[in-house]
Amino acid sequence: MLKFEPRGAESPFWRYAAPVLALLLTGVTAGLIFAVMGRPPGRTVYTLLVAPLLQQDGLEALVVKAAPLILMGVGLSLAYRANVWNIGTDGQFTLGAICGGGVGLAFPDAPAWALYPLMLLAGAAGGMASGGVVAWLRVRFNANEILTSLMFAYITQYLLVWLVTGPWRDPMGFGFPQTALFSDAAQAPRLIAETNVHLGIALAPLAALALWVMLEKTLLGFQFRVLGQAARAARFAGFRETRLIWVAMLISGGLAGLAGLLEVTGTLGQLTTTLSPGYGFTAIIVAFLGRLSPLGVVPAGLLLALTYLGGDAAQINLGLPNAITGIFQGILLFYLLGCDILLNNRLRWRRRGPVPT
Amino acid sequence: MTHPLPGPLLQMTGMTKQYPGCLANDAVNLTVERNQIHALLGENGAGKSTLVKMIYGVTRPDAGTVIWDGAKVTIANPHQAQRLGIGMVFQHFSLFETLTVAENIALGLGSAAERVGLRERILRISTEYGLPLEPDRVVHDLSVGERQRIEIVRCLLQNPKLLIMDEPTSVLTPNEAQALFGTLRRLAAEGCSILYISHKLEEVRALCSVATIMRQGRNVASCRPAEKTVRELAEIMIAADLSTPTPRPARVGTARPRLVLDRLTVRSPHQFGTDLKDISLSVAGGEILGIAGIAGNGQNELMDALSGEILAGRPETIWLDGQPAGHLGPRERRLAGGCFIPEERNGHGAVTTMTLAENALLSGFGQGGLVRFGLIDVGRTVAFAERIISRFDVRTSGAQAEARSLSGGNLQKFLVGREVLQDPGVLIINQPTWGVDAGAALAIHEAIMALARQGAAVLVISQDLDEVFVLADQVAVIAGGRLSAPVPTGSVTVEDMGRLMGGAAHAEV
């Protein structure tokens, strides 16, 4: 009989091996699903995970997709370590895009040196406002942040739809639900000319590094970790839970808002009714795949970005439905959480039946 | 009761259980005769719980033979143990506070048929064995002693032949304990053997006819406890000569008070907690005040109100070293010179999944430059943890070991050391040696007394009367959230204290 036995202490090996195992199991399971659908599993997985990288602009597309995932995943890894379950980063992303993008649309003639920093600030502030409301509801009314943050994500989405189909709709846009294009000054600065590699691609790893230092090396980060692992011990130490909840929601919300602003000014160039293909939810998987470590989030973000590219490729080349990306991500999260049991337990064969005498 | 088969009721030989990294039971033998009250003695971690769990079917042994009532058996689960006639009263009760006594007992029964006439059976058993219970009372109104009676009656309904009692008197007043002993003797006389686990050697001497003593997972001795002194029993348990703590010289009351409570009144944040009412006291530098009381009479609320986890309404209700502190949080109270050791180690005084170095930081972050400009100085933090480990003889692999890898006694030594080494002006400690073996308890007592000798004011909250008497210069009793007037330790007897603890608890509305 297979049995789990407690190890007594967390295994350092499985800390890193568990995500790899989860990834392998995801590949096998996805392959089985493809086989059942009558597709060659090997070629399909190849199209999903390898082929996108071999294309001409493969790497560029990858980092552009990964940047918002990493920015949001980094903030989430901090919040989740403190047991603050912000599920609504998608809404914070959107509100950041609305606020920052709104500033850009309001001043089409402003010079870039003044306008873009202001847009960045407005984007971060929008995300922080969205996260702050959630924090306030939790602290003031003890409202569960999982529910409130998720509900705000829907509210924000409808706000966006209303804006781009109503007051902010481009009068010259032939009635399409979208705003005017941002002025050149309101575009994210490019790190490499003539490409989509924008400012966000540099900010994402910097944010990861900064939050890693904060979480692992500072007293503030220690407070988050204690709160997440033993809330009573945090009270005993005198760490103020309400303050930590505020900080966690403001940072994760602010980074999501920044990601939203960078996404609309870096790749889309205008506001439309669909800004995020579920980035906020994918970022949850990114945070867990990265073991809730801000540094681990970087490779995790790249991998999940690849599933988006692979999903597109599979749709175009193999005629698979676009839902394949969501399925793949869902299976991955399932195995990730499942494989974590190996951290504190080992698998043992045990004989059933009477105890030997 | 008569038995067709002569011979012992329970005979276990070669019981072995291996846990990862720990051989909890190594070929342990245990024989319980019929009509016998049998003591199982040993330090924490000696393997008593593992052995008992194997008898009750909670844990499967890796090897060993169990002969029950003359037949070889394998006890697969507690349900089977109950069918065989084995009952167990755990140290921590499993009762629903919002249900009545009868409802709680009914929940433990297997089938609807067993519920027929339950009330009457509860009443019959409770009168027959001197276990007064009212079936319709709601549990949260009951004292701990009454709750324990529910658990015992629940077991007796199954007509057990063996009743296992795990540390039953740790929560009882002396009077309640005496009543319990009467019940147990009566049960034994009528054919139900008792396996009695306790740390209290005096009790074991009075109650038990035979004792099996365990150490480090093995049998070390079997004896008649009445023929040994408490000291001899303790020495067999820990395999060392016990040195008694040095008697404390009587204090002259001239030192200035360092901890003052002035009519402290606090509402408990917990639904069934105890509110604190008008608690006043004063502890001078160099003095130890002991607060005795039965669990659940406001000790935890008092601890939290003193550490700052619950804030008092007015700043002037609590004075730390001459500074009003009722409105200050734990952090500010530490800056004012206070140090605190709560009762619960796991998840309150320590984060079990963090290393000892990180746990040293938990209350020590304000001291000794462990944190500078918001950055943790890892070197100094590890050095601080190592100093605690060496000064307080904490058995561990080092400062990077996770707190959960330590035994209860070693973790408690670490937590006491963490606070004592911060050189507090006022130390407040709740249940200093709860679940801690005799050796560690002695070390902790000595550390507390040494701190007082250096001039700190110490407040010890403990349910262990012996401990209060050993440590304190002055004693008081907390009951129903009120504190009796502190009196010098020499002027009261254990019986006086017991009456205060029990009487006041029952008078509480």
Exposed/middle/buried for A309, CB within 10 Å: 0-12, 13-18, 19+?
buried
Q: Is B61 in Cβ contact with A6 (below 8 Å)?
A: no
Residues ≥6 apart with Cβ < 8 Å to A184: A112
- How close A194 gets to chain B, by Cα (Å)? 42
**Do the beta carbons of residue B293 and residue B501 sit within 8 Å?**
yes
Q: Which residues of chain A neighbour B270 with C-beta distances below 8 Å?
A: none
Interface check A240 vs B, CB under 8 A: yes
Sequence-separated contacts (24+) of A4-8 with Cβ below 8 Å: A4/A341, A4/A345, A4/A346, A4/A347, A4/A348, A5/A345, A5/A346, A5/A347, A5/A348, A5/B20, A6/A344, A6/A345, A6/B20, A7/A344, A7/A345, A7/A346, A7/B20, A8/B19, A8/B20, A8/B21, A8/B404, A8/B405
**Do the beta carbons of residue A45 and residue A188 sit within 8 Å?**
no
Give pLDDT tens digits for B361-407: 999 998 878 999 899 999 999 999 999 999 998 988 889 999 988 88
Give pLDDT tens digits for A57-110: 889 999 999 999 999 999 999 999 999 999 999 999 999 999 999 999 999 899
**Cα Rg of chain A, angstroms:** 22
The number of CA neighbours under 13 Å toward the Cβ of A63 is 16
Q: Which of the two residues, B177 and B113, has the higher pLDDT score?
A: B177
The number of CA neighbours under 13 Å toward the Cβ of A224 is 28
**Do the beta carbons of residue A282 and residue A89 sit within 8 Å?**
no
To test the contact with chain A by mutation, choose from B376, B378, B396, B428 the residue with the greatest count of A C-beta atoms within 10 A, namely: B376
To test the contact with chain A by mutation, choose from B53, B331, B339, B351 the residue with the greatest count of A C-beta atoms within 10 A, namely: B351
Question: Chain centroid to CA B85: how far?
Answer: 28
Q: Which residues of chain A neighbour B64 with C-beta distances below 8 Å?
A: 355, 357
Q: Six-digit token pair at B506?
A: 């029952």
Interface check A6 vs B, CB under 8 A: yes
Interface check A2 vs B, CB under 8 A: no
Separation in Å, CA B97 to CA B123, B137, B176, B272: 20, 10, 21, 9
Q: Which residues of chain A neighbour B352 with C-beta distances below 8 Å?
A: 230
CATH code of domain B10-238: 3.40.50.300
Question: Smallest Cβ distance to A355: which of B60, B365, B404?
Answer: B60
Work out the average pLDDT over B180-185.
90
> What is the residue-wise DSSP string for B486-507?
PEEGGG--HHHHHHHHHHHHHH
Sequence-separated contacts (24+) of B394-400 with Cβ below 8 Å: B394/B356, B396/B356, B398/B356, B399/B355, B399/B356, B399/B357, B399/B360, B400/B355, B400/B356, B400/B357
Interface check A242 vs B, CB under 8 A: no
Q: Which residues of chain B neighbour A225 with C-beta distances below 8 Å?
A: 354
**Which domains, and CATH codes, for chain A?**
53-328 (1.10.3470.10)
Q: Which residues of B touch A (CB under 8 A)?
A: 19-21, 60-65, 74, 307-309, 329-334, 340, 342, 344, 347-354, 358, 361-363, 365, 371, 374-376, 402, 404-405
Domain B10-238 and domain B257-337+424-507, same fold? Reply is yes
Q: Which residues of chain B neighbour A8 with C-beta distances below 8 Å?
A: 19-21, 404-405
Angle at A245 between CA A240 and CA A249, to 5 degrees: 155
Q: Which of the two residues, B435 and B58, has the higher pLDDT score?
A: B58
Q: Which of the two residues, B110 and A55, has the higher pLDDT score?
A: A55
| Residue of chain B whose alpha carbon sits nearest to that of A218 | B375
- How close A133 gets to chain B, by Cα (Å)? 26
Q: According to the model, what pLDDT value does residue B28 have?
A: 93
- How close B113 gets to chain A, by Cα (Å)? 32
Q: Is A218 in Cβ contact with B329 (below 8 Å)?
A: no
Q: Assign B509 a pLDDT band (cuts: 50, 70, 90).
A: very low
Q: Which residues of chain B neighbour A219 with C-beta distances below 8 Å?
A: 365, 371, 374-376
Q: Is B60 in Cβ contact with A357 (below 8 Å)?
A: no
Q: What is the DSSP letter of B415?
A: H
Give pLDDT tens digits for B50-71: 899 999 998 889 999 999 998 9
User: Top-level CATH class of B257-337+424-507?
Assistant: alpha beta
**Cα–Cα distance for residue pair B490/B486, rounded to 1 Å:** 12
Q: According to the model, what pLDDT value does residue B505 have?
A: 39
**Cα–Cα distance for residue pair A183/A160, rounded to 1 Å:** 20
The structural domains of chain B, with segments of one domain joined by +, span: 10-238, 257-337+424-507, 353-414
| Residue of chain A whose alpha carbon sits nearest to that of B59 | A355
Q: Which residues of chain B neighbour A237 with C-beta distances below 8 Å?
A: 330-331, 362-363, 365
Q: According to the model, what pLDDT value does residue B506 have?
A: 39
- How close B368 gets to chain A, by Cα (Å)? 14
Which residue is listed with tokens 């009445």?
B226
* Amino acid letter, residue B158: Q
| Residue of chain B whose alpha carbon sits nearest to that of A10 | B353
Question: Smallest Cβ distance to B308: which of A233, A238, A354?
Answer: A238
Q: According to the model, what pLDDT value does residue A81 have?
A: 95
Q: According to the model, what pLDDT value does residue B202 have?
A: 80
* Amino acid letter, residue B22: C
Q: Which residues of chain B neighbour A226 with C-beta distances below 8 Å?
A: 351, 354, 362
Interface check A1 vs B, CB under 8 A: no
Question: Smallest Cβ distance to A237: which of B332, B344, B362?
Answer: B362
Q: Is A10 in Cβ contact with B354 (below 8 Å)?
A: no
| Residue of chain A whose alpha carbon sits nearest to that of B358 | A222
Given a cut of 60, whether residue B248 has pLDDT beyond it is no
Q: Which residues of chain B neighbour A217 with C-beta distances below 8 Å?
A: 375-376
User: Residue A53 phi/psi, 5° resolution?
Assistant: -75, -25
Q: Assign B145 a pLDDT band (cuts: 50, 70, 90).
A: confident
* Average pLDDT across chain B, whole number: 86
Give pLDDT tens digits for A210-243: 999 999 999 999 999 999 999 999 999 999 999 9
Given a cut of 50, whether residue A326 has pLDDT beyond it is yes
Q: Assign B5 a pLDDT band (cuts: 50, 70, 90).
A: low
